[in-house]
Structure 1
Amino acid sequence: MLVESLSGVRGWYGRDLTPNIAQRYAAAYASSLMKAAKGKRLCIVIGMDTRPSGPALKDAMLPFLPADIIDVGVLPAPAIEHAVRHFRADGGIIITASHNEPHDNGLKFLRRTGAILEEQEMGKLIALAGRMDAARMKVVLSKGAKALGQRTVREARKEAIGAYRDFVFFIIGDSAGKIRKEKMTVVLDANGGAGSMAKHILAQAGIRVVALNSGHGDFAHAVEPTMETLAYLPPLIRKRKAQFGAGFDCDADRVEIILGNGRMLSGNELIALAARHMLSTSSRPEKEVVVVNDATSGMVGEVVRPYGALLKEVPVGESNVVREMKASGSRVGGEGSSSGIIIAPQTCRDGILGILMICGIVADRKKSLEELLGELPRRAYLKRKVSVSKASMAGLRRSIIAHYRERGLDVLAEKEGSIKVPMPGSAFAWFRASKTEAGVLRVIVDSPNGEKAEGLMREALALAGGA
């Protein structure tokens, strides 16, 4: 089925996501931009990951985008988002299904800041695309006829790569010199995705890269980087005496880090490492703000509190984190539940920047990544998925809320969003209907105590019907 959510649109190409559906979304997006532009000539950046259906979707959408087009080709999603800012475009479209398998594809729509549309904006776009029949599409084409007749289509992949490279080196700043001195090695599995360009950027930082599966579209294993798909890396990491191994999803916004001993870092640990480094090097750490989603482990809070800094929680969703980071002047944020670090002024998770950040911390602290992880607070963070029919989801939410309130616990419940139940002893249980996987309830528990976490998960699964 076609999944339409706050993070975009995705589905099996040709079955769920067809060229016609892509055209309806392109027309709806163009209509929104034209309305906001009030007659101004528009510019849209378009790029994609390495899925075979990407060019066909681009070709289907172009006739319905009455704007100058800057085509950056195959690039990581973070580089495409940066291209929107670099070229001062009015928006952008990324053709990607992220960690889904190659038969799927999808569309992400961007604001002029390069960030994905906010939840309310994406909701309006989904509704408008749903109403975009042939007659309405003709109206869009009629209004944009002059722009279509005059528009230019410019290929700018090389310039976009250079601009993105300069951008990430600007963010890591003085760490670049320290990384070069360390002469560290990283094993990199791009798995045929857009992250293959990372080897060139990392090499320019003085990192020795053992590059695997770098050919575009040469998917050596399942697209989502997991413990199972990256299990073959630790022996090679040890053999090459590398600091760590890294695996990307197809659009390279997400990176998973694995050590030579087989341990895979969690998103919570990555954010905790980034936050601690930022706070420990800040001249006024008590003025700093770290923004995370409400499913992030208490580990991050334990790292932040000793510095007197402020930890802000927002609902799940990259756009929510980015918006609050901008409002708060936060330099570090992310979603611990989904392996996402966001380093300002970037407006999304960024796998390449994440690797450089980790290498910079290792170089600055002069300790191995394994040693740095050993300094973090210990937490048990458990995640499960439960199949729940759409018809029963609302009733299940009410039952979960009632159960914990009957126990005398505070329940933080968003309307149709997550349910978070803070527990004594700095623990919590968290529930949310997935916005990207139909019929799935996500369940997370977090506690400093592993045995308590197991008990909380048993209780949560019994409530959700997944015991």
Structure 2
Amino acid sequence: MGSRKYFGTDGVRGAYGSAVMNEAFAWRLGAAAARFARERGAASPVVYLGRDTRASGASLEAALAGGLAAEGFQPVSLGVVPTPAVSLALRQAPAAFGVVITASHNPAADNGIKFFGPAGIKLTDDEEARIEALLPATAGAGGAALGSYDARSLYVATAARLLPAHCLRGWKIVLDGANGAGCQTSHAVLTQLGAEVVAIGCTPDGRNINEGVGSQHPEPMAAAVKAHGARVGIAHDGDADRCILCDENGDVLDGDEILTVLALHALKGGRLARGRLVITVQSNLGVDAAVAAAGGTVVRTPVGDRYVIERMLADHATLGGESSGHVICAEVSPTGDGLVAALKVLEVMLASGQPLSVLRRQLTKFPQVTAALTVREKKPLEGLPTLPATIAALERELGAQGRVLVRYSGTEPKLRLLVEGPTDAVVHGALARLEQAVRADLEVV
């Protein structure tokens, strides 16, 4: 695997105005990506640029376009669109590659840049490392004339065809767009299918993306479902590649529950390729038990939807995702798509005649607790004096009845802790011991 300095688990990300998230660096990154595409023999000079609703997006897009143009490529703006709409555009209208300017679920003060290859699939670690190696030393001063392409209409039309016309007539659905890129597109599709949509988090102003709403903050969605007597709630993140749901009782479903509902429905109909579901090490062990009981198997990857997708491609799997709400339905799209995930769950509800409150009972989660500690420095975990021994001791104590996961976030200065075990008391006690060890070894802020 190539060594990467700037790319994390989902592109380059940071506070806008920082050393890696400013116009000069965006220009350099655009130039480097163009050099990479030329090196790989790109068949088209066109590059698609999409972005979310952050105020910093337009100027970063212009800078990226300048770097692309300086290397002889033709930047084409898709405007504000969900991340999966960029992937779809690449598959429908050939281009050298695509770029999405987004920091996903992060606050508005952050932004990010991630790349898709010509087949609409995120780049690998090695490909990102090669782009870093091709970065010019300094940014140029040139801009670029941006072309345009209506990827939004393409995305809406394609998604609306996933379910029968007017099949949601009589349904009331709460949509929380996180004040992000999916506000208009998801609303348009649900409305076309006949639903009455109650919209929250759908008034972006460039500064309020993910602010108290969206997949990271499902409470407003749950409250709206109960207040309006809706049948289901749907919440996206800032670039709408995630989906978190809420049943008619106002109870929230995470990605594990969504994936279990979809996997078991597909297994029952003989449509889950190789009977296999691909998830990450973050997902609850209850998913493995539910899928195994239905005759399927689960494969786990490192955290990051890119790694899920890579494994799905290698295994010819059709369903995978993360507990965070990234769900990949490969028969529709080779990347996470919050709207597609929601529509697929609605399809199960329609086919089964069961409300989401019943369907969710197919997953019984193992007791699990998590924590995310902000650290001053990401020191190598294996070299710490206290934490490795604590992890080893807990793993011995839990045995086959649980597990411990400790990892650094790939997008934030955080150390993430997860413990699963037989009882709530056991997992809370184990988490407390982990946090104590972390504080002994690292400066927590």
TM-score, normalised via structure 2 length: 0.87
What SS does structure 2 have at the residue aligned with 1:360? helix
What SS does structure 1 have at the residue aligned with 2:159? helix
- The Cα offsets for residues 446-465 of structure 1, whole Å up to 9 and x where unpaired, read as 23532332233223323323
What SS does structure 1 have at the residue aligned with 2:167? helix
What SS does structure 2 have at the residue aligned with 1:272? helix
What SS does structure 2 have at the residue aligned with 1:73? strand
Instruction: Give the structure 2 partner of residue 304 of structure 1.
Output: 291
Question: Does residue 353 of structure 1 match 2:340?
Answer: yes
How far off is 1:246 after superposition?
A: 2.3
Of 53, 60, 63, the residue aligned with 2:63 is 60
Matches within 5 A, 1:172-183: 172=162, 176-177=163-164, 180=167, 183=170
Question: Does residue 165 of structure 1 match 2:153?
Answer: no
Of 332, 335, 343, the residue aligned with 2:329 is 343
Instruction: Give the structure 2 partner of residue 238 of structure 1.
Output: 226
Instruction: Give the structure 1 partner of residue 373 of structure 2.
Output: 386
Question: Does residue 75 of structure 1 match 2:68?
Answer: no
- In 1, distance between residues paired with 2:191 and 2:226? 20
Of 92, 103, 117, the residue aligned with 1:97 is 103
What SS does structure 2 have at the residue aligned with 1:465? helix
- In 2, distance between residues paired with 1:294 and 1:380? 15
What SS does structure 2 have at the residue aligned with 1:71? strand
- In 1, distance between residues paired with 2:213 and 2:304? 20
What SS does structure 2 have at the residue aligned with 1:177? coil
Instruction: Give the structure 2 partner of residue 154 of structure 1.
Output: 147
- In 2, distance between residues paired with 1:90 and 1:165? 23
Amino acid at match of 1:163: L
Cα distance change on mapping 1:152 and 1:213 into 2, 3 Å: same
- In 2, distance between residues paired with 1:214 and 1:444? 32
Asked if the contact 1:387–1:441 (Cα under 8 Å) also holds between the matched residues in 2, the reply is yes
Once the two structures are overlaid, the 10-residue window that deviates more, 388-397 or 87-96, is: 388-397
- In 1, distance between residues paired with 2:209 and 2:148? 31
Instruction: Give the structure 2 partner of residue 249 of structure 1.
Output: 237
Cα distance change on mapping 1:449 and 1:37 into 2, 3 Å: same
- The Cα offsets for residues 75-104 of structure 1, whole Å up to 9 and x where unpaired, read as 011111211111121211111111122222
What SS does structure 1 have at the residue aligned with 2:252? coil
Of 19, 23, 30, the residue aligned with 2:27 is 23
What SS does structure 1 have at the residue aligned with 2:105? coil
What SS does structure 2 have at the residue aligned with 1:430? strand
Cα distance change on mapping 1:104 and 1:408 into 2, 3 Å: closer
Amino acid at match of 1:432: R
Asked if the contact 1:321–1:333 (Cα under 8 Å) also holds between the matched residues in 2, the reply is yes
Asked if the contact 1:186–1:207 (Cα under 8 Å) also holds between the matched residues in 2, the reply is yes
Asked if the contact 1:193–1:216 (Cα under 8 Å) also holds between the matched residues in 2, the reply is yes
- The Cα offsets for residues 247-305 of structure 1, whole Å up to 9 and x where unpaired, read as 2222111232234544322222121112111112216x693211111121112111211
How far off is 1:201 after superposition?
A: 0.7
Asked if the contact 2:54–2:209 (Cα under 8 Å) also holds between the matched residues in 1, the reply is no
Question: Does residue 321 of structure 1 match 2:308?
Answer: yes
Asked if the contact 1:6–1:122 (Cα under 8 Å) also holds between the matched residues in 2, the reply is no
- In 1, distance between residues paired with 2:75 and 2:34? 12
Asked if the contact 1:341–1:350 (Cα under 8 Å) also holds between the matched residues in 2, the reply is yes
TM-score, normalised via structure 1 length: 0.83
How far off is 1:374 after superposition?
A: 2.5
Amino acid at match of 2:334: T
Amino acid at match of 1:343: C
Structure 2 gaps of 5+ residues are none
Question: Does residue 107 of structure 1 match 2:113?
Answer: yes
Amino acid at match of 2:10: S
Asked if the contact 1:227–1:264 (Cα under 8 Å) also holds between the matched residues in 2, the reply is no
Cα distance change on mapping 1:313 and 1:224 into 2, 3 Å: farther
Structure 1 gaps of 5+ residues are 142-147, 410-421
How far off is 1:392 after superposition?
A: 3.9
Instruction: Give the structure 1 partner of residue 270 of structure 2.
Output: 282
Instruction: Give the structure 2 partner of residue 8 of structure 1.
Output: 11
Asked if the contact 1:445–1:456 (Cα under 8 Å) also holds between the matched residues in 2, the reply is yes
- In 2, distance between residues paired with 1:18 and 1:218? 17
How far off is 1:123 after superposition?
A: 2.7
Of 40, 55, 67, the residue aligned with 1:36 is 40
Cα distance change on mapping 1:383 and 1:391 into 2, 3 Å: closer
- In 1, distance between residues paired with 2:155 and 2:436? 47
- In 2, distance between residues paired with 1:448 and 1:363? 35
- In 2, distance between residues paired with 1:408 and 1:256? 31
What SS does structure 2 have at the residue aligned with 1:357? helix
Of 425, 435, 441, the residue aligned with 1:451 is 425
How far off is 1:43 after superposition?
A: 2.0
How far off is 1:127 after superposition?
A: 4.2
Cα distance change on mapping 1:11 and 1:406 into 2, 3 Å: closer
Instruction: Give the structure 1 partner of residue 252 of structure 2.
Output: 264
- The Cα offsets for residues 384-427 of structure 1, whole Å up to 9 and x where unpaired, read as 01234436444555754444546784xxxxxxxxxxxx943441
Cα distance change on mapping 1:431 and 1:228 into 2, 3 Å: closer
- In 1, distance between residues paired with 2:201 and 2:119? 32
Higher helix share: 1
Cα distance change on mapping 1:309 and 1:64 into 2, 3 Å: same
Once the two structures are overlaid, the 10-residue window that deviates more, 26-35 or 264-273, is: 264-273
- In 1, distance between residues paired with 2:275 and 2:359? 22
Asked if the contact 1:275–1:303 (Cα under 8 Å) also holds between the matched residues in 2, the reply is no
Cα distance change on mapping 1:179 and 1:307 into 2, 3 Å: farther
Could you tell me the percent identity over the aligned residues? 25
